[in-house]
C-alpha cells in the first residue's frame, strides 16, 4: 500500500473487534510517529500506550464517554511537551510548535495503522486535566489527541470533503 492508498483507506473507526493488536504492528505504528518531522527535530511530545481496561475506562470518561476508547484494544495518548519546544523557540514553541509536533506524529500513526491493516479514530474532545491525570502527566504536557487502535468492526463510508477548488487559492485568498 502506498501513501496515497493509505490516505484513501483511512477513515474514523469507532467500533473495534476484540482481536488484540500484534506487538510488531504497534511497533511499526510508533516508528512511523518517530519518523515524523518536528520543529528543530526536538520531537516535543510524548506518547503513552494505554491497554489496562480500568485506564481505558478512565480515558473514555475524560472524553465524555466516548466508548470506542474502551472498545479498542489499545489507546495512544499524544501529549505536546510545551516546555521542550519553549526551551529553543520561546513562546512560539510553547504555543504552536509543540502542539504541531504532537499532532503530526499522531497523524502519521493513523496512516501507519492503515498500512498494517488496522483502524483508528482521532479523539480530541476530552477534558485535558482528566486525561493528564489518567496518564500521570505533569502540567507542561498538553494532551493533544487520543488515538484508539484496533481491528475495525465497522467500515464507515468515506466522509465528504470540501471541493478542492473551494479550499485551494492561487496567489491570494
Ligand X SMILES: Cc1cc2nc3c(=O)[nH]c(=O)nc-3n(C[C@H](O)[C@H](O)[C@H](O)COP(=O)(O)O)c2cc1C
Site residues, ligand X (CB under 6 A):
11-12, 14, 66, 121-125, 159
- Distance of closest approach, residue 170 Cβ to ligand X, in angstroms: 26
Q: Which is nearer to ligand X, 90 or 156 (CB)?
A: 156
> Taking the CA of residue 29 as centre, how many other CA atoms within 13 Å lie in the half-sphere pointing to its CB?
29
> 123 or 134: whose CB is closer to ligand X?
123
Per the listing, cell 492561487 goes with: 170
Collapsing DSSP states into helix, strand and coil, what is residue 78? strand
In whole angstroms, the minimum distance from the beta carbon of 22 to ligand X comes to 24
Closest separation in Å from C-beta 31 to ligand X: 22
Where is 162: in which H helix or E strand? none
Nearer to ligand X, 8 or 34 (CB): 8
Q: How far is the CB of 36 from ligand X (least distance, A)?
A: 16
Name the pairing type of β-strands 45-50 and 141-150: unpaired
Nearest-CB residue to ligand X?
Answer: 124
Cell of 9: 483507506
Measured from the CB atom, the residue of 53 and 160 that comes closer to ligand X is: 160
**How would you class 37 by CB atoms within 10 Å of its CB: exposed for 0-12, middle for 13-18, buried for 19 or more?**
exposed
Amino acid at each position: 500500500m502506498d501513501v496515497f492508498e493509505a490516505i484513501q483507506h483511512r477513515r474514523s473507526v469507532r467500533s473495534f473487534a476484540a482481536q488484540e493488536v500484534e506487538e510488531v504492528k504497534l511497533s511499526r505504528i510508533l516508528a512511523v510517529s518517530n519518523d515524523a518531522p518536528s520543529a528543530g527535530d526536538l520531537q516535543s511530545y510524548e506518547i503513552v500506550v494505554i491497554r489496562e481496561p480500568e485506564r481505558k475506562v478512565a480515558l473514555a470518561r475524560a472524553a465524555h464517554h466516548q466508548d470506542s476508547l474502551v472498545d479498542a484494544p489499545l489507546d495512544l495518548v499524544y501529549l505536546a511537551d510545551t516546555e521542550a519546544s519553549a526551551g529553543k523557540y520561546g513562546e512560539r514553541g510553547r504555543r504552536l510548535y509543540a502542539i504541531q509536533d504532537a499532532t503530526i506524529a499522531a497523524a502519521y500513526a493513523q496512516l501507519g495503522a492503515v498500512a498494517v491493516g488496522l483502524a483508528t479514530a482521532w479523539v480530541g474532545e476530552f477534558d485535558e486535566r482528566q486525561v493528564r491525570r489518567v496518564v500521570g502527566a505533569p502540567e507542561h504536557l498538553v494532551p493533544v489527541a487520543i488515538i484508539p487502535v484496533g481491528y475495525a468492526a465497522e467500515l464507515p463510508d468515506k466522509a465528504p470533503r470540501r471541493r478542492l477548488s473551494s479550499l485551494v487559492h492561487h496567489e491570494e485568498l
